[in-house]
Copies of this chain bind each other. A is one copy, B any other.
């Protein structure tokens, strides 16, 4: 199965060692060799780097780490193709502009018959590739369009209402772990996931929150380094599997966690 990773932080931060660890899951240690991608938000825009090749052998990963791309919101994904060819168009995260913001989406799971259930309700969005995941993203954005094209930006509560209802529909189609951001809020939806023993069960995502007011250079744990020059930092992380030896919290099936600037709201 695919691997998901996301960060929301109070101050812009670089994510380093976790990328390396994440890349290792992408082929050297995990069966996820069909592509990888990472989005770093910069305001309402984002850098998006994707490659339809194993992350483990990519020279982008060390470059991205060296280049110190910083963001308050980061979403990353390692792919094992279940539906759709191995190519750039099918590589997560997917992105679209809506309401003057780049929206970013990555999914782990398999949504059976989503074409039949949601393929006619895509608004003006169309998948570029042919994955169930991108189609789900287009359908989600179609639902959110009235909120974002309204004269004033939608409240967090209004956004969550739409996303929760949509996530419920997706869970009926198959495993629907997803990470979604509009550049302001990060939404993490946990479902069930094919575990290491081969069974399909929760947790679909783990969560880790850390705050820091004494270490100006951020966090530096084995397997996970979040670097920041801010003196006060608050970070919330999500991942398919714990990336460090720390006490990651497994999320129950159907749970949606909403994070703004590193703090769960």
Residues of A within 8 A of B (CB): 42-50, 59-60, 63, 66-67, 87-89, 96-102, 123-129, 145, 149
Q: Tell me which of B67, B102, B125, B128 contacts A102 (CB under 8 A).
A: B128
Chain B residue at minimum C-beta to C-beta distance from A148: B126
Contacts A43-B87, A43-B89 given: A149-B124 contact, CB under 8 Å?
Answer: yes
A227 to chain B: closest CB distance in Å? 18
Tell me whether chain A's interface is mostly helix, strand or loop, or mixed: mixed
Residue pair A43, B88 in contact (C-beta under 8 Å): yes
Q: Please judge, given known A-B contacts A59-B67, A67-B60, A145-B124, whether A89 and B129 are in contact too, CB under 8 Å.
A: no
Residues of B within 8 A of A42 (CB): 87-89
* Pairwise interchain contact B97-A129, C-beta atoms closer than 8 A: no
Among residues of B, the one whose C-beta sits closest to the C-beta of A66 is: B59
Show 8 residue pairs from A and B whose CB-CB distance is below 8 angstroms, ordered by the A residue: A42-B89, A45-B87, A59-B66, A63-B63, A102-B128, A123-B124, A124-B149, A126-B149
Whether B100 pairs with A97 at a CB distance below 8 angstroms is no
Q: Which residue of B lies closest to A63 (CB)?
A: B63
The answer to whether A97 touches B96 (Cβ under 8 A) is yes
Question: In the complex, what distance in Å separates the CA atom of A246 from the CA atom of B43?
Answer: 42
